[in-house]
């Protein structure tokens, strides 16, 4: 049964492809899906996705940086100033990275402006190209894990290649706290021209959204043909013929000039390292020992296809495009920097750019857990290793620095979920220790760096008081994180700890103000003073980021945020009818924010009161209305794939309740899917009667068993097998009788 669908599927896909992609299908499993992924979706609007070339979780993310900068480097509305090697994807706040930039130039080198207009950009997984107009050059980029490969095809016979060691993205100085805001600050840079075809150097930068300490990106660059002249610069001073600019805290760069190009294609390979220039060179030599750009480009495509084909779906082309683009965007970060940790030596994997777990724990991580266990285990190991060496697991981390924690200590949720889903090979005892540190040792003045701010209150009076910013949202998240601690502790046989934390997971109730009314709805999470008084009347619709009562949301949003005990939440909201009314008001009044993480789960809350059809209806509409194949096709920051993964799950018809072993059935858009969920384990999803208007699951089986619940557990599908959804155009009674579990069920 499991295998029968496969040849058919395989044939169908193959017929859609022509010769060039045949080489990609190097083993029997891989299907050609890579061409569906369009990295430019989400590049405009609020998506902030990375545009450029990289491998899955690759250290090098080589892409264009436009004048004015942005979080991803890319902007559609301004000239290109360089093509740099390190980026993040989908983030908000101040920009990070944008290091070691390469740019073609012509004529006399003008350090005050070597930007270029551009057009006709193309981006596929592992490949980016763009036509520059000053000089007229086609710029093409591809990458291996640690190496950026540039191919510049000059129209003229002469030109230069500029390498700006000191480049970095600069946005965010206007917001955040401290004298530098959230902007990156240069610490120093260095460049050394080793020969007329080689250079090495580094840039050292601090700051950015996470207020990170200094990180250093080292490089070693190699050109395919010798320059006729070289020179260097520091600041705005050019030094023709010079070959070294050592670090005096300035921006530095070097040029390689070609008076008569032997080949029109000037190629540059740039090895990157966070350890040293020699390590960068070793990385280059190990990963690319030739000048065959197309070979590397193809290899990157194959690698991406291999990763993306962990899920093979059927459905409309636009669906596939959104789906595989989302999958692609879910595999950009965190970055695998094993062997590149300049902070300590370890036999564990090292991942950086958790940016942020506050986002990804909800969707990206459950997705990777499902389809890439080895990767996910390695990431979780790296989090424990960070704890071991730095004292706290991160809630966000970038540039080798923890920071900054937006709310809860959401690593807690990752480990509880991994345990419940029986991920093997992790040191769960150590995880519990690290989680208890989060829950019990206040990070004090470093509360944006790690742990839980306002813990003094939370652990003494049961909520974060108004003495601390983000007191409302923090309390809600801490309660959910405490539930994660309780479940892991229980699983490890630590009953006392489990009871303590199950009890603390009800702390959200301490901020529930029964008598507060808004929009005919009564009972809300409400900020409270340390003495127990509610805070004086305030603008209930206030919305903001750091110095607020609720982070990236309002009381309305967080008054739904009790994923571990929706039953209790329903009770507190006045029972099923009032809860449904609350949900309806929430959506009707535009208080729901599809593009932001705190609301990710809310559209599925209907299922917890036995109204699965409304869950289906809501989630179906959200997918249809907010995700497109356009460049602004994402409804909010992609946040390291958190937004994209939200779609991927829902499109497959189920959605994880992070930290639990529960998936809620929603409304599949696909007609069929096969997922690799482990060695020799495949999960097939068949959607019967699929059509645009058939948005309701009306019956379902798992491995042949008739399934009456609009939810299932990871263990129900952990060994693979088949889920069959049968769809209908009208709500039915299916899925209404047994609601998903809540902590209150335990009592």
Binding site for a second copy (CB under 8 A): 179, 185-188, 190, 192, 202, 204, 206, 213-214, 216, 244, 246-249, 275-276, 278-279, 281-282, 339, 341-345, 388-389, 391-392, 437, 441-447, 450-451, 455-456
Q: For residue 618, give both structure tokens.
A: 């809501």
Q: Reduced to 3 states, what is the DSSP secondary structure of residue 127?
A: strand
Q: For residue 419, give both structure tokens.
A: 């345990």
Minimum distance, C-beta of residue 503 to a second copy, in the bound complex (Å): 21
Minimum distance, C-beta of residue 535 to a second copy, in the bound complex (Å): 21
Can you say whether residue 363 is alpha, beta or left, with left for phi > 0 and alpha for psi between -120 and 50 degrees?
Answer: alpha
Minimum distance, C-beta of residue 389 to a second copy, in the bound complex (Å): 8
Distance CA 267, CA 139 (A): 10
Angle at 385 between CA 381 and CA 390, to 5 degrees: 150
Give burial (CB, 10 Å; 0-12/13-18/19+) of 206. middle
Q: Based on CB atoms, which residue is closest to a second copy, 443 or 735?
A: 443
CB 657 within 8 A of CB 617: no
Q: Based on CB atoms, which residue is closest to a second copy, 395 or 661?
A: 395
Minimum distance, C-beta of residue 504 to a second copy, in the bound complex (Å): 19
Minimum distance, C-beta of residue 245 to a second copy, in the bound complex (Å): 8
Distance CA 462, CA 223 (A): 62
Minimum distance, C-beta of residue 334 to a second copy, in the bound complex (Å): 20
CB 409 within 8 A of CB 451: yes
Q: Based on CB atoms, which residue is closest to a second copy, 187 or 535?
A: 187
Q: Based on CB atoms, which residue is closest to a second copy, 89 or 277?
A: 277
Q: Based on CB atoms, which residue is closest to a second copy, 238 or 456?
A: 456
CB 355 within 8 A of CB 674: no
Q: Based on CB atoms, which residue is closest to a second copy, 206 or 681?
A: 206
Supply the DSSP symbol for 528: B
Length, in residues, of the chain? 747
Can you say whether residue 111 is alpha, beta or left, with left for phi > 0 and alpha for psi between -120 and 50 degrees?
Answer: alpha
Q: Based on CB atoms, which residue is closest to a second copy, 343 or 529?
A: 343
Distance CA 80, CA 46 (A): 20
Q: For residue 530, give both structure tokens.
A: 């340390």
Minimum distance, C-beta of residue 441 to a second copy, in the bound complex (Å): 4
Q: Based on CB atoms, which residue is closest to a second copy, 155 or 427?
A: 427
C-beta atoms surrounding 727 within 10 Å: 22
The CA-based dihedral angle spanning residues 555, 558, 562, 567, taken in that order and rounded to the nearest 10 degrees: 50
Minimum distance, C-beta of residue 440 to a second copy, in the bound complex (Å): 9
Between helices 495-504 and 428-440, what is the axis angle to 10°?
A: 40
Minimum distance, C-beta of residue 413 to a second copy, in the bound complex (Å): 20
Q: Based on CB atoms, which residue is closest to a second copy, 445 or 536?
A: 445
Minimum distance, C-beta of residue 444 to a second copy, in the bound complex (Å): 2
Q: Reduced to 3 states, what is the DSSP secondary structure of residue 180?
A: coil
Minimum distance, C-beta of residue 522 to a second copy, in the bound complex (Å): 36
Minimum distance, C-beta of residue 211 to a second copy, in the bound complex (Å): 9
What are the C-alpha distances in Å from 341 to residues 186, 200, 385?
Answer: 20, 19, 11
What are the C-alpha distances in Å from 152 to residues 113, 158, 186, 685?
Answer: 19, 12, 28, 45
Q: Based on CB atoms, which residue is closest to a second copy, 430 or 630?
A: 430
Q: Based on CB atoms, which residue is closest to a second copy, 311 or 386?
A: 386
Q: What are phi and psi of 309, to 5 degrees?
A: -80, 10
Q: Based on CB atoms, which residue is closest to a second copy, 251 or 320?
A: 251
Q: Based on CB atoms, which residue is closest to a second copy, 391 or 491?
A: 391
Distance CA 255, CA 82 (A): 13
Minimum distance, C-beta of residue 244 to a second copy, in the bound complex (Å): 6
Q: What are phi and psi of 265, to 5 degrees?
A: -95, 105
Q: Based on CB atoms, which residue is closest to a second copy, 184 or 607?
A: 184
Q: Which residue, 211, 477, 366, is CA-closest to 717? A: 366
CB 210 within 8 A of CB 398: yes
Distance CA 421, CA 526 (A): 34
Supply the DSSP symbol for 511: G
Minimum distance, C-beta of residue 475 to a second copy, in the bound complex (Å): 18
Minimum distance, C-beta of residue 346 to a second copy, in the bound complex (Å): 9
Q: Based on CB atoms, which residue is closest to a second copy, 276 or 510?
A: 276
Minimum distance, C-beta of residue 502 to a second copy, in the bound complex (Å): 24
Minimum distance, C-beta of residue 390 to a second copy, in the bound complex (Å): 8
Q: Based on CB atoms, which residue is closest to a second copy, 322 or 426?
A: 426
What are the C-alpha distances in Å from 96 to residues 66, 271, 400, 401, 625?
Answer: 14, 19, 12, 12, 31
Q: What are phi and psi of 321, to 5 degrees?
A: -60, -50
Q: For residue 335, give both structure tokens.
A: 């970055």
Q: Based on CB atoms, which residue is closest to a second copy, 90 or 271?
A: 271
Half-sphere exposure of 580 (CA within 13 A, CB side): 12
Q: Based on CB atoms, which residue is closest to a second copy, 471 or 726?
A: 471
Minimum distance, C-beta of residue 499 to a second copy, in the bound complex (Å): 23
Distance CA 353, CA 337 (A): 10
Angle at 158 between CA 154 and CA 164, to 5 degrees: 80
C-beta atoms surrounding 494 within 10 Å: 18
Give burial (CB, 10 Å; 0-12/13-18/19+) of 509. middle
CB 239 within 8 A of CB 231: yes
Distance CA 385, CA 388 (A): 5
Question: Which residues lie below 8 Å from residue 715, measured CB to CB, with a gap of 6+?
Answer: 422, 661
């Amino acid at each position: 049964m499991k295998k029968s669908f496969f040849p058919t599927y395989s044939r169908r896909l193959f017929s859609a492809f022509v010769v060039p992609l045949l080489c990609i299908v190097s083993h029997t499993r891989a299907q050609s899906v890579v061409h569906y992924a369009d990295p430019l979706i989400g590049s405009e609007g609020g998506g902030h996705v990375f545009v450029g070339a990289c491998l899955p979780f690759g250290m090098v993310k080589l892409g264009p940086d436009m004048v004015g900068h942005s979080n991803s480097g890319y902007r559609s509305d301004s000239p290109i100033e360089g093509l740099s090697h390190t980026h993040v994807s989908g983030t908000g706040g101040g920009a990070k990275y944008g290091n070691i930039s390469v740019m073609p130039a012509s004529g006399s080198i003008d350090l005050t402006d070597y930007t270029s207009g551009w057009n006709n950009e193309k981006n596929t997984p592992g490949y980016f190209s763009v036509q520059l107009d000053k000089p007229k050059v086609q710029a093409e980029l591809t990458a291996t894990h640690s190496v950026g490969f540039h191919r510049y095809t000059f129209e003229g016979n002469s030109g230069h290649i500029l390498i700006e060691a000191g480049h970095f993205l600069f946005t965010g100085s206007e917001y955040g706290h401290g004298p530098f805001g959230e902007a990156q600050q240069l610490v120093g840079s260095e460049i050394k021209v080793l020969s007329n075809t080689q250079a090495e150097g580094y840039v050292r930068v601090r700051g950015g959204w996470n207020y990170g300490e200094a990180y250093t990106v080292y490089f070693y660059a190699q050109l395919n043909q010798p320059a006729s002249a070289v020179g260097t610069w520091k600041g705005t001073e050019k030094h023709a013929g010079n070959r070294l600019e050592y670090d005096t805290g300035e921006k530095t760069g070097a040029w390689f000039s070609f008076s008569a190009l032997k080949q029109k294609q000037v190629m540059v390979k740039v090895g990157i390292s966070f350890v040293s220039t020699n390590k960068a060179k070793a990385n280059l030599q190990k990963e690319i020992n030739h000048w065959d750009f197309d070979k590397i480009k193809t290899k990157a495509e194959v690698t991406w296809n291999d990763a993306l084909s962990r899920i093979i779906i059927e459905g409309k082309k636009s669906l596939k495009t959104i789906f595989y683009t989302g999958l692609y965007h879910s595999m950009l970060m965190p970055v695998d920097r094993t062997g590149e940790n300049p902070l300590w030596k370890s036999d564990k994997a090292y991942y950086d750019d958790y940016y942020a777990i506050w986002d990804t724990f909800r969707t990206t991580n459950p997705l990777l857990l499902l389809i890439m266990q080895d990767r996910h285990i390695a990431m979780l190991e790296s989090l424990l290793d960070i704890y071991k060496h730095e004292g706290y697991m991160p809630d966000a981390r970038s540039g080798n620095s923890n920071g900054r924690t937006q709310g809860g200590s959401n690593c807690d949720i990752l480990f509880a979920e991994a345990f419940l889903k029986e991920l093997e090979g992790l040191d769960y005892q150590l995880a519990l220790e690290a989680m208890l540190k989060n829950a019990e040792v206040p990070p004090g003045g470093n509360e944006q760096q790690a742990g839980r701010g306002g813990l003094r209150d939370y652990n003494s009076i049961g909520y974060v008081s108004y003495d601390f910013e983000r007191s409302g949202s923090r309390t809600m998240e801490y309660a959910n994180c405490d539930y994660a601690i309780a479940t892991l502790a229980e699983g490890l046989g630590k009953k006392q700890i489990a009871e303590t934390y199950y009890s603390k997971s009800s702390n959200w109730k301490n901020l529930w103000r029964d008598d507060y009314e808004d929009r005919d709805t009564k009972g809300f999470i409400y900020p409270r003073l340390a003495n127990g008084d509610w805070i004086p009347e305030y603008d209930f619709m206030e919305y903001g980021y750091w110095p607020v009562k609720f982070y990236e949301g309002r009381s309305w949003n967080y008054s739904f945020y009790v994923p571990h005990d929706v039953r209790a939440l329903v009770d507190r909201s006045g029972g099923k009818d009032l809860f449904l009314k609350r949900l309806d008001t929430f959506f009707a009044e535009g208080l729901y924010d599809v593009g932001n993480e705190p609301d990710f789960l809310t559209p599925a809350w209907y299922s917890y009161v036995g109204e699965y059809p409304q869950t289906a209806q809501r989630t179906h509409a959200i997918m249809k209305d907010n995700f497109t194949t356009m460049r602004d096709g994402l409804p909010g920051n992609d946040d390291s794939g958190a937004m994209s993964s939200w779609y991927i799950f829902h499109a497959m018809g189920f959605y994880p309740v992070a930290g639990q072993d529960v998936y809620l059935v929603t409304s599949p858009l696909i007609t069929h899917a096969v997922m690799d969920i482990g060695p020799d384990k495949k999960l097939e999803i068949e959607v019967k009667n699929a059509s645009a208007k058939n948005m309701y699951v009306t019956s379902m089986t798992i491995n042949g068993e008739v399934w009456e619940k609009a939810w299932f557990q990871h263990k129900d599908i952990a060994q693979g097998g088949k889920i069959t959804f049968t769809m209908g155009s009208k709500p039915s009674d299916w899925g209404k009788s047994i609601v998903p579990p809540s902590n209150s069920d335990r009592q």
